[in-house]
Amino acid sequence: METVDREVRIEIDIVECIFTINGLSIQRVDVLENIEKLEKQLFRQKRRLSRKEQNSNNSKETLEKIQKIENKLDNVYNDYMNKCISVVIKSNPTCVVIVENNQKFLQKYYEFVIRMKVRCKMHGIEFKVLNTYT
């Protein structure tokens, strides 16, 4: 029985919710719309907070709303990352290669790489990060 070397090459754009596997691009429009809506709400609430008097009950309530929106936004990003990782792991590759793009400054990108590394280690899959711009 011969083994087939199945390498999965991944490019991900966390901000635009575009996930590319071996040239096949998947964009989650529903996630992108939800993120845009939450970011708009967050911007409004932060603007309202800046107009409030500090340490008043109104400012505390607005701050709670901001924290709630930020938690929702984090949950959307985490859900998207977990779904992308599960798609890759379910395809049963022998090697996963993540192509680094210009998103080195994003914390979410690093979270994705770390989560993918852990899941690959759990399933015995080789993991590589390819740096394209050095």
Domain range for 77 is 7-131
Report yes or no on 83 lying in a domain.
Answer: yes
Q: Which of 33, 17, 35 is nearest to 25 (CA)?
A: 17
Quick one: pLDDT at residue 84?
Answer: 84
Q: Is residue 1 part of a domain?
A: no
Give the type of residue at 78. Answer: N
Distance separating alpha carbons of residues 87 and 46, to the nearest angstrom: 36
Strands 95-100 and 7-13: parallel
- Interval 33-76: pLDDT, tens: 888 999 999 999 999 999 999 999 999 999 999 999 999 999 99
Structure tokens at 49: 């907070």
Long-range Cβ contacts of 121-124 (<8 Å, 24+ apart): 123/89
Whether 20 maps to a domain, the answer reads yes
Assigned domain for 111 exists: yes
CA distance 26 to 29: 9
pLDDT, one tens digit per residue, over 69-109 is 999 999 998 888 888 888 888 888 888 887 776 655 567 77
Q: How many domains does one find in the chain?
A: 1
Does a structural domain hold residue 2? Answer: no
Q: Let me know if residue 106 belongs to a domain.
A: yes
The answer to whether residue 30 sits within a structural domain is: yes
